[in-house]
Every structure is written in structure tokens, then in C-alpha cells.
Amino acid sequence: MMRMPWKVAVGGLVTAIVAWGMCMAGAVPIGAPQGSAPLTPQPDAGPAGLATTGKAKAVPVEIVAHRGASWDAPENTLASMRLAWEQQADAIEFDCFLSKDGQIVIIHDADTRRTAGVPGKVAEQTLEQLRRLDVGRWKGERFAGERIPTLAEVLATVPPGKRAFIEVKCGPEILPELDRVLKASRLRPEQTVVISFSEDVIAAVKKQRPDLPAYWIAVLMPRNGKPRGAEEIIATARRIRADGVDLSAEANVLTPAYAAQIRQAGLFLSVWTVNDADLARKMIHSGVQSITTDRPGWLREQLQSDRTPR
């Protein structure tokens, strides 16, 4: 065997040590060709494969702003949606009805009395008539002049990588217009989740737009007082081909074993409406993947503090 000159040997050793150090630091993999791009950590996969932001990584659950940041701003308005994003929500949730002239408007009640102070059925008024109503003043003078937004306006606020939970409050008759608006938006199908208490709506969504995530909303403790078992929830979800379920956050019902059944059935598991940090912790312990809250910023802070080293 021929001996290498000592300078060559030492030089080779130094090169090897430097290469190993760069690999350990995540710079360039051993064996990579010269000029290879540095390795960068891949973002955590969020719901439906969406990447989560750096701040969102600190919380082990998706935080959904219920009707926007509705604790601090008037529900279902552009002000509440924008504030939700400012408060680092992972998604927004809002309610949809059809106006008399077939436009999708964002409002929770079938009547405008509660938020506008003026009685009137949403379905019996045109978009122009609904736009005349002030749905912000009831929350404070600084919100005076907030109008009922359209679906297109709310979708336009959704940042890249975030989601919108679109709750259909009427029936399947909304779907043609919903399909049109979604296709006209810049959002990918996985960013727009259709949710509804109506089994017919969810079934129709999955038939007409199988690419859209659709979650069935259910109350775990109906008024008769008998909790719904996981088997019942799963059976209904499968029958209507739902991708997930959005359940009332009942800690005495939604146990880790209950949640495990739901998730093992291949269903995404979300809960509503959680404005208590202890309840949120119980839901996370049970294994839910998404929590809907009126207080997205506050809840994130509470959950982040749990993960801060002491």
C-alpha cells in the first residue's frame, strides 16, 4: 500500500471533519454534490397537510376563531375576522345564509334583530338591503358602521396556510353559489372546510365537491340528557361521508377513549366552543385536533404558557 504524503492526509482529515460538522448542523448532507442547497427543517404538517406557522407550533392543537375573534369584536364581521388573524388564529369560523337575491352573507341568525337591532328575515332581504344594517355598533361605538360581509369578502382575508370553517346555516340550496364563490377565490380546497349540523348539507357537499373537507357538527349531550356514543357519531359520519366531526366540548363525554374511537375511524376531530383554558387542556388531553373559541389570542397564550420551560 502506498503512503500518502502527510500534508495530503491531514488536509483530507480536516475536510472530513468540516463536512461532518456541516451535516450535524443541518447544512449539507454527506455525499451531496457541491453547491447543494442547505437542509432546512420542514414545517409541521397541519390539518389537511397545511403547514403551520412558527407560533402555531407551540400549541398542540389547531385554534379556530369562532365567528372571528368574537370575544373582542362584533361576530361575523370583517373586523372580527381580521382581528382573529392578528391574534394568531389558525383558522376562522363563520356562518352563512343565502339572501333573497341568492348572495351568500355572513350572519349567524336567520333574523337580523340580535346583531343589527332591526327585525327582518335574512332570506327575505336582498344583499343591498342587508348592507344597510349596522352590525357592529352593539359591540361598541368603535365598531359602528360594520356591515354584513359576503362570503367572498371573508375568504379574501384568509392568509396562506390558514383555514376557513364555513358553517352552512340553511340547506343544500346554498351549494351552487358556494361552489361558484369558492372556485373564484384564491384558496385551495383544503383551506375551505364546510361544516353543518345538517346531515343533508354534508352529504350533498361530498357528492358535489368531494375535494372539499366537510365536517358534521353534533351535540354530544342532546336535550334528552342521554349522551351520544362514539359508535353513533361514527355511523352517521360514515353514512354522509363526512371527513370529520365537530363536537360540543363535553369533558364528561369526550374522554380519551371516546376521542380515540373517532380518530381511529379516520375522522378529523374538532370541538366547540371553548373559552375556558382548563376545558381546552382536557380536550387536548383527550386527543382533539382542533378547538373553536371566541378568544383565539387569549387561549393560545394560556396554552403556550403550559409549554414554557420553568
Residues recognised as catalytic: 66, 108
Consecutive H or E run containing 271: strand 268-272
CA angle 96–102–106, rounded 5-degree value? 20
- CB-based contact 290:271 (threshold 8 Å): yes
How far is the C-alpha of 81 from the C-alpha of 157, rounded, in Å?
Answer: 7
Phi and psi at residue 127, in whole multiples of 5°? Answer: -60, -40
Cell of 188: 385551495
Tell me the β-bridge partners of 195. 167, 215
Q: Would strands 104-106 and 91-98 be described as parallel, antiparallel, or unpaired?
A: antiparallel
CA angle 291–240–47, rounded 5-degree value? 30
Of 305, 234, 302, 237, which Cα lies nearest the Cα of 63? 302
Sign for the pseudo-dihedral over CA of 46, 60, 283, 300? negative
For residue 152, give the 3-state DSSP assignment: helix
Cell of 21: 460538522
